[in-house]
A and B are shown apart, each in its own frame.
Chain A
């Protein structure tokens, strides 16, 4: 069975600082994708970044980057230069065309 674990229910970061959100997963799939989605309060889930498992190079999207450790089944998200608009629930996910999500990490950004 596939599982995704986010061990940090809540994180806080000072504006302009860097924060890392943790995620571990388990899957029996040989070819899969990993994702981070952002869900602001009362708003829709938006894809932040994704990683193809067959790629060794870590994905980067502007201020967002991942540290993908395939052997350890770890997929953390780093947010650099945090902004107030980054405050949201962040869900890590794994899958091919069907996703399994973790329970989420609520990120607070302090002014």
Chain B
């Protein structure tokens, strides 16, 4: 089945130690998104790629970066994680022009020690 895959599902890192979260998709969608979701809060968009074009949200901290080496993969890099970065990170995809529905992965829960 076509899907959005996130690895790992759980990630533990140390304060200040760089960490990378991975997302892949078999849907061949041209738009990929990263959301941060803290406990009992709404998912908050960090940035998205429209094809190869990177679009950062205005309030996304500089600590967060992203890479999209090809259509299928997208990475979220947190350069120096702080305790406040502990959250669920959701990847989503959509095909622009096809009714805008976003398809979500299962998320990666990040714990910062």
Contacts and interface: CB of A to CB of B under 8 A. Distances in A.
B100 interface: yes
A44 B43 contact: no
B42 interface: yes
A7 interface: no
Interface string A68-98: 0000000000000000000000010001111
Interface residues of A, number: 22
A104 B40 contact: yes
Kindly name the residue among A43, A44, A104 whose own CB sees the greatest number of chain B CB atoms within 10 A. A44
A47 B101 contact: yes
B37 to A, nearest CB: 9
Tier of interface size on chain B: 20 to 34
B94 A97 contact: yes
A99 interface: yes
B43 A101 contact: yes
16 contacts: A33-B99, A35-B101, A37-B104, A45-B92, A47-B101, A47-B103, A50-B99, A52-B99, A95-B100, A97-B31, A97-B94, A97-B96, A97-B100, A98-B45, A100-B45, A104-B40
Given A45-B104, A104-B42, 16 more contacts: A4-B42, A37-B104, A44-B4, A44-B104, A45-B90, A46-B104, A47-B102, A91-B42, A97-B48, A97-B96, A98-B33, A99-B45, A99-B102, A103-B41, A104-B40, A104-B41
Interface of B: 4, 31, 33, 40-43, 45, 48, 50, 90, 92, 94, 96, 99-107
